[in-house]
């Protein structure tokens, strides 16, 4: 026969595990929410930069006004702009990909934590039944 004291110790352990699982679930949900917000903001920023880039690329340059040193300076500045925008977009897309990968990883962790909580809750129900039986007997 199992002692009631032992069962109560198991119950305390399960209750601590349930509390820890709930904390992990809450923490992970917060991380996912923050990452989703960051991903969304980054998507918006990338779209805005691409839109601005598109409008700048569509500008018509009056070649009669840009000759000699002015043309060279313009071409140099425009080349720097192209490199900077390309670099920004590349890094931003890489960062968004990393964030989206992290979201998927945390969603998988969340599933694990939820399954663990479910298991612990079921175990607690079973243990409560055992305690009830031990108290009767």
- What is the average per-residue pLDDT within 81-104? 96
Pull the structure tokens for residue 36: 């989703």
Among 105, 98, 123, 101, which Cα is nearest to 11's?
Answer: 123
Tell me the pLDDT tens digit for each residue of 20-42: 999 999 999 999 999 999 999 99
Measured CA to CA in angstroms, residue 123 lies from 8, 14, 33, 69, 82 at distances of 13, 8, 30, 80, 61
Q: Which of 38-47, 69-78, 128-137 is modeled with the greatest confidence? A: 38-47
CATH number of 4-136: 1.10.287.1490
pTM reported for the whole predicted model: 0.81
Q: Is 35 exposed, middle or buried (0-12, 13-18, 19+ CB in 10 A)?
A: buried
The predicted-structure confidence for 74-84, as pLDDT tens digits, reads as follows: 888 888 998 99
């Amino acid at each position: 026969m199992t002692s009631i004291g032992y069962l109560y110790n198991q119950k305390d352990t399960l209750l601590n595990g349930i509390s820890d699982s709930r904390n992990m679930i809450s923490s992970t949900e917060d991380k996912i929410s923050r990452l989703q917000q960051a991903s969304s903001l980054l998507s918006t920023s990338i779209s805005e930069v691409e839109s601005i880039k598109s409008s700048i690329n569509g500008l018509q340059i009056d070649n009669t006004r840009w000759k000699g040193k002015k043309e060279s300076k313009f071409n140099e500045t425009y080349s720097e702009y192209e490199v900077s925008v390309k670099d920004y977009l590349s890094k931003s897309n890489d960062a968004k990909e990393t964030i989206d990968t992290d979201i998927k990883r945390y969603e998988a962790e969340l599933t694990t934590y939820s399954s663990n909580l479910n298991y612990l809750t079921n175990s607690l129900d079973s243990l409560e039944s055992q305690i009830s039986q031990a108290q009767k007997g």
